[in-house]
Structure 1
Amino acid sequence: MQIEVTINDKLVTWDVANDEFLADTLRVHGLLSVKKACETSCCGLCTVWIEGKPMLSCSILSSRVHGKKVTTIEGVPKAAEEFAQVLSAEGAEQCGFCSPGFIMNVLAMKNELVNPSEEEIIHYLTGNLCRCTGYMGQLRAVKTYLGVK
């Protein structure tokens, strides 16, 4: 099946299998920031934006994004770099494997929530798993980035 999709502001036409997941399609086409780790849709590593909303690309068939706008971390380099610097400054960056999905969720949260509470931040990021950190550094970094006390 053929789909047309806008990936990082570029219209593309791709051939995809009927049962192909978006995470796999994106990786095949060189968008290697999108990763699959848990195989159960609960780790957040495959997070991309579909029509501006964070979604797990490992759970969405590629055919479902036909005619839609998909953004990966490659499509938001300036904002991603800005948050990554805060993440690093707070000592929350470890191996980096989970960072692309985590960063995409933080950037989406910045776009969606105004002055979120710590509880709202934690709730928003619940689906992001990191095996290296204790999450406190990441929470500090998010609060710093969002300007939340």
Structure 2
Amino acid sequence: MYFEEIPLGRTRRSCGRTLTEADLVLHAGQTGDFFPHHMDVEFMRQHPFGQRVAHGTLVFSIGVGQGADEINEHAFSYGYDKLRFIKPVFIGDTLTTEFTITEKEDVAKRPGHGLVRERTEVRNQHGHTVLACEHLYLVVRRHALTLEPQQP
């Protein structure tokens, strides 16, 4: 879809994905984050959570990946804003993600594109939001904006 074709308020939801111990171990190996919060059962028994927690970056990766079911050849990711880890995620939790288009903006430096903001909320099997952020996309316009020349 071109920028003009993306409707505000459009929402899509992913299927569920259950987090496994293998996910934690693989993510620790890929990132080098072997903190005991993620890897040490005995250490976490003494912690208020009582069990190991998933890396926030793992939850983020899974949540974002759950939105990769749709290809838009006219858009590319511009980054993420307002990323928050709201609740802990544990081995055995099942995550789903909801994506909602919340805003569309002109981009003065790129008259051939528009900026789309998509609220991204990752939820556990209880419906609690565990992670939230805004995904920003630059999306090609069907017709580039005609901008007036800048005054000196």
TM-score greater than 0.5 by the shorter chain: no
Q: TM-score range by the shorter chain?
A: under 0.3
More helix by share: 1
Q: Normalising to structure 1: TM-score of the pair?
A: 0.25
**Structure with larger Rg:** 2
Q: Normalising to structure 2: TM-score of the pair?
A: 0.25
More strand by share: 2
> Which structure is higher in RCO with an 8 Å CA cutoff and minimum separation 6?
2
